[in-house]
């Protein structure tokens, strides 16, 4: 048999030890080798409990079998190897990781959500500074719907204040096929607003690029919704918009929008522009840049 492995209490022994000066074994047996053959590698796993903190540790092997075995030392051609598997434990001040939240229903069957993942360039979910989730989706046979959910709850609400009280950012259109995106703008003074933009899914019907501004994102009665603002109204329509925010090194937040527009019967362009005065009803797009055309 290959022998048994024990811990050794003494850690001040030198490599010049002899049979007579060897430290004594201590504690219970940690591991053991089965049958071994000459010229081969063998390994055993030591329990993690033997390491209780920083410091030096000693281990020793013995055998109660009359058929002895000789192991190579570090001077031999096949020196022994100590393999350590470790992981970094979180600092005591770190909060425990939050559990994965359960699935929740944002919109019921009668409301529907028109292709929430079909339009890959749409950003439909944001989070406020208070941890409230904000989402937008197409509403069946109506338009664009807004909903929110507070941290620690499973219920989504469509309650809002201001221009609308039911989260219906766009309604009465007869269809929910409206790609929409939402982005939270955090100002230098700590104030937050959310911009929601929408336009057509394609150019079958000429639709404008429009936006609403949401304020008081964490208000108990729901965010305050501003009026509809038309950012661009190409004659042949705008489609598949997106909105994002750039923050400068000084902390200034500047939102920008991208969209596609039809420029002629068989030509199209991908556009981008900054949103000026985004906090008020006078919001508008500034100089428009054509990123691509064809």
pLDDT in tens, 159-207: 999 999 999 999 999 999 999 999 999 988 888 999 999 999 999 999 9
Position 238 pLDDT exceeds 80 = yes
Position 289 pLDDT exceeds 90 = yes
Q: What CATH number is given for 125-293 in this structure? A: 2.120.10.10
Give burial (CB, 10 Å; 0-12/13-18/19+) of 54. Answer: exposed
Position 91 pLDDT exceeds 70 = no
Position 68 pLDDT exceeds 90 = no
**Predicted pLDDT at 56:** 84
DSSP 231: E
256 or 70, greater pLDDT: 256
Give the Cα separation of 209 and 214 in Å (integer): 17
Whole-number percent of the chain with pLDDT over 70: 95
**Predicted pLDDT at 49:** 80
* Averaged confidence pLDDT in the chain: 87
Question: Which residues on neighbouring strands pair with residue 261, listed in sequence order?
Answer: 238, 269
DSSP-derived pairing of the beta strands 161-162 and 224-225: parallel
**Predicted pLDDT at 224:** 97
pLDDT-based confidence at residue 271 (cuts at 50, 70, 90): very high
DSSP-derived pairing of the beta strands 143-149 and 267-276: unpaired
What are the residues whose beta carbons fall under 8 Å from the beta carbon of 244, sequence distance 6 or more?
123, 183, 255, 256, 257, 258
Domain ranges of the chain: 1-95, 125-293
């Amino acid at each position: 048999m290959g022998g048994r492995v024990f811990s050794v209490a003494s850690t001040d022994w030198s490599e010049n030890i002899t049979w007579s000066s060897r430290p004594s074994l201590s504690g219970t047996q940690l591991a053991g080798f089965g049958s071994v053959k000459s010229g081969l590698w063998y390994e055993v796993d030591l329990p993690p409990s033997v390491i209780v903190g920083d410091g030096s540790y000693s281990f020793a092997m013995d055998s109660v079998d009359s058929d002895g075995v000789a192991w190579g030392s570090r001077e031999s051609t096949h020196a022994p190897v100590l393999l350590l598997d470790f992981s970094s434990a979180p600092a005591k001040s770190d909060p425990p990781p939050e559990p994965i939240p359960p699935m929740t229903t944002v919109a019921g069957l009668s409301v529907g959500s028109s292709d929430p993942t079909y339009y890959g360039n749409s950003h439909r979910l944001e989070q406020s500074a208070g941890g409230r989730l904000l989402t937008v989706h197409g509403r069946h046979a109506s338009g664009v719907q807004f909903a929110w959910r507070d941290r620690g709850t499973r219920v989504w609400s469509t309650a809002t204040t201001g221009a609308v009280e039911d989260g219906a950012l766009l309604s009465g259109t007869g269809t929910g096929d409206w790609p929409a995106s939402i982005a939270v703008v955090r100002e230098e003074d700590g104030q937050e607003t959310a911009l929601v933009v929408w336009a057509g899914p394609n150019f079958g019907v000429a639709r404008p690029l429009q936006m609403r501004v949401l304020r008081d994102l964490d208000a108990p009665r729901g965010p305050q919704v501003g009026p509809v603002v038309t950012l661009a109204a190409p004659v042949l329509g705008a489609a598949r918009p997106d909105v994002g925010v750039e923050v400068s090194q000084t902390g200034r937040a500047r939102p920008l929008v991208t969209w596609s527009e039809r420029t002629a019967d068989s030509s199209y362009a991908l556009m981008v522009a900054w949103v000026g005065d985004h906090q008020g009803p006078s919001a508008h797009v500034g100089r428009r840049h054509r990123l691509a055309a064809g």
